[in-house]
A and B are shown apart, each in its own frame.
Chain A
């Protein structure tokens, strides 16, 4: 018998099983794959934002050494369907065709126009230069408001409009009624700049055909092997059962690999056409054009409150940049945010409208947080403005409005039922760790002495909806699929355990955490468990990894499947021990008969007895393996309080984060070390939006921040150390009590940082700085405030802030 497990695994900071091959370089990234006869595919992309393709000639490329084939759009697109959009958010949403390769018209700089296939990657890249394309330039569509004008140039001329959809949500009382009885109404405009996700592993796909039988194995750097398989079948016509999709080691995703990309379809189509294995790997600069972007919204937000600081209503009008095409969940991203603008606050009315707009830019889609960071930013920024208007401390204003811990479960104004939480506890802990009162005192002193380096304090109290998602809710939101997750457990004859999961990790640590969960329920050693994932042949059922869903839904499925194994094993144990099932105890992996502790069998022994099947209960199927699918009945709602202190040099505009404290409540925790790591990384990405990152386009629609040298992904030297802590209010919607942690840090941190910067500069007349709050933007805002006595957010935001007039009504 193996060593008995006596210590609970769940809750332990286990170093990860995943690490061994990653720290030694024995990795299986998709681009590492080499097979006999492998051909390399390179893609020629449009250098223009919008143009008609007059003529394309790939034949000169065929003359180049090492080139095996070359295709224009028309050569390939004929056999391919449109890339899928799985989330038509309204019945009348405009859904343009999206061929994997452009045929007549290109609609963003980076749209694929030709494909070259060669014997090595250098030859393929060389030959691209020989392809001849004549373009007739068309007007770019870049400004979200101008795009909606009657006479605006159209991204998709056959659709007659750039308006993709209008999605409204109005809950509670009528907003105008509520607004009428408000003492204070504030209106602000916030701009969520476009971001480039920057998973460290560039995308890559390798297709290996078994041409004679029409079978294809697709390795892809993807978050969603299961969804990709279904979608590639529909796009390419290769039957689903002839497709195997494998996500091997995947180097980060952050939503950018939650996608069905044209290159995946093109690689499959070319491999099918040539009967040869092909590989495509993006360069980083290519990925900046071709891998979807995140954010990209203009938010007009209005908040109505009493003079005592009680919120009455919230009105949000969003313009959301879809980019040139609708990809897998493009239109749904702002809708995920729609439910989160009211955040943790009680109010009487909520009125939300989102208008999706086509532009001639790279499509947008999920990026860490996906709609929820944008919502949290808007509400947490305007709460600070309201606190100033009312003369209240920003934390006090939040206290007056948040849902009390005794009020859970609480159905919030947007319709979600928050099952559990304790905002008071998280906030009190964060304030104490941060030294809030001391910092405020220091700030007063420094402001009075007129120092050039100002201290600012920012707060963000957030919640989010995680654990995507109850399938019926997805139906109501018009999402095409369900939100369940699958797990199965195979008890091997030697007592070892394989956990098969439908989640598809790319850095999260599922192998370690699922091992911990299974180890506890089955009572087998942690090291006796292996986790199988990311291969549609080995782990055939799954809905993959995104939306902080994996532990909450997928981990719960592992837990339930393990419980089923124990129940089956109990029958075998009762039979072998000649006892009734009711008389058996199961502790630390061992069944024993109550009152006669010497009569015992371990579950690992029972695995062998079941394998041999010599002496099973009559009629019993000879297996104790089990599977379970979980379809959650609610989302989960992590929450927390983040506090940031910044020093802003008013002479240079430079912001330095002096301290950062987070207290997150992500429910029960399987592996505290992994949770802390997720929070660190999440905070870093949120800070990056606040201070550093922006996808910048010029007036012609060219991506100016087109390389990693032009787009500032922060390094270790650009970020502070974080103080992270937790409170723990278990989720009630899953047996683990877990809420999800993948996105929390990113959702919380952006407004905490910007609130701190504005707080530092407010005595100097600044009430807005547009993101990213670069030294230039901060300096511009200060200069504008000095010169005309009102605030400005820098060159792009100055016109907007003029509109965001504050008004008071009786």
Chain B
């Protein structure tokens, strides 16, 4: 067992964990932060995407011990004072989710894109989200939502 200290969505947690424990299982099973789901076991789907120290990571491919002394932001930590993040609003308004299972990862990946490139074009959005799979939407409204959240009207 290894002792770790991780700040998740603004709260600091200290825990003894097995070195092999994946960050996603730490978040879900130990902290009860089930807003971030698991969609695969090969890091292809991106459903478990979270922010770790300013970088997006697939939390199924990171050990909890690697997050020691780090700061994690999940979809559950995006709202401010009860106000949704612009991406959360845009996903809702543009119907960018159906079953919603990919949505937390999709929003976290899109947030990272907009940090790097505040005004992407549709193709840049598609390429930036390549590591996040959605089976319901055909992605079109996801692209629209990300463009809308960036302050651009969708042209797709």
Cβ–Cβ < 8 Å partners of B10 in chain A:
none
Cβ–Cβ < 8 Å partners of A23 in chain B:
75, 84, 88, 91-92, 97, 100, 103, 107
CB within 8 A of A680: which of B35, B75, B93, B138? Answer: B138
Q: Which of B38, B129, B137, B138 has the most CB of A within 10 A?
A: B138
CB within 8 A of B138: which of A22, A201, A254, A683? Answer: A683
A719–B103 Cα gap in the complex (Å)? 18
- In the complex, identify which listed stretch (A501-509, A578-586, A769-777) lies at the interface while the others stay far away: A501-509
Q: B134 near A200 (CB under 8 angstroms)?
A: yes
Further contacts, 17 of them, CB under 8 A, given A16-B95, A32-B28, A677-B95: A22-B100, A25-B36, A25-B74, A31-B37, A122-B21, A200-B99, A200-B102, A201-B39, A250-B99, A251-B99, A506-B99, A507-B100, A674-B95, A681-B138, A713-B44, A715-B129, A715-B132
Query: Mask for A435-453, Cβ within 8 A of B = 1, else 0?
Result: 0000000000000000000
Q: A31 near B76 (CB under 8 angstroms)?
A: no
Give, as a whole number of angstroms, the nearest-CB distance from B154 to chain A. 9
Q: A201 near B20 (CB under 8 angstroms)?
A: no
Give, as a whole number of angstroms, the nearest-CB distance from A773 to chain B. 19
B142 proximal to A (CB < 8 A):
yes
* 68-99 of chain B: CB within 8 A of chain A: 74-76, 78-79, 84, 88, 91-93, 95, 97-99
**Known contacts A120-B29, A284-B40, A708-B44; A252/B99 CB under 8 A:** yes
Q: Chain A residues in contact with chain B, CB under 8 A?
A: 13, 15-16, 18-20, 22-27, 29, 31-32, 34, 120-122, 198-202, 249-252, 254, 283-285, 506-509, 673-674, 676-678, 680-685, 707-709, 713, 715-717, 719, 721-722, 745
A250–B84 Cα gap in the complex (Å)? 23
Q: Which of A249, A506, A681, A745 has the most CB of B within 10 A?
A: A681
A16–B28 Cα gap in the complex (Å)? 26
**Known contacts A285-B42, A677-B95; A24/B136 CB under 8 A:** no
**Known contacts A709-B42, A717-B130; A25/B97 CB under 8 A:** no
Cβ–Cβ < 8 Å partners of B107 in chain A:
23
Nearest A residue (CB) for B105: A200
Q: B125 near A716 (CB under 8 angstroms)?
A: yes
Cβ–Cβ < 8 Å partners of B104 in chain A:
25
B156 proximal to A (CB < 8 A):
yes
Q: A29 near B101 (CB under 8 angstroms)?
A: yes
Q: A15 near B39 (CB under 8 angstroms)?
A: no
Report the number of A-B residue pairs with Cβ-Cβ less than 8 Å.
186
Give, as a whole number of angstroms, the nearest-CB distance from A124 to chain B. 13
B16 proximal to A (CB < 8 A):
no
Categorize the interface residue count of chain B.
35 or more
Q: A29 near B136 (CB under 8 angstroms)?
A: no
Q: A27 near B92 (CB under 8 angstroms)?
A: no
**Known contacts A15-B95, A24-B35; A251/B100 CB under 8 A:** yes
- Interface class of chain A by DSSP: loop
Q: A252 near B98 (CB under 8 angstroms)?
A: yes
Q: A685 near B18 (CB under 8 angstroms)?
A: no
Query: Mask for B5-43, Cβ within 8 A of A = 1, else 0?
Result: 000000000000010110001001100111111111110
CB within 8 A of A707: which of B35, B42, B75, B143? Answer: B42
Q: Which of B74, B93, B98 has the most CB of A within 10 A?
A: B98
Cβ–Cβ < 8 Å partners of B140 in chain A:
680, 721-722
Cβ–Cβ < 8 Å partners of B97 in chain A:
19, 22-23
**Known contacts A202-B39, A713-B135, A716-B142; A721/B100 CB under 8 A:** no
Give, as a whole number of angstroms, the nearest-CB distance from A30 to chain B. 11
A749–B41 Cα gap in the complex (Å)? 30
Return 24 A-B CB contacts under 8 Å, by A number: A19-B92, A23-B100, A24-B88, A25-B34, A29-B34, A31-B38, A32-B28, A120-B29, A121-B29, A200-B136, A202-B39, A251-B99, A251-B100, A252-B99, A252-B136, A285-B42, A507-B100, A677-B98, A685-B135, A707-B44, A716-B142, A716-B143, A721-B122, A722-B140
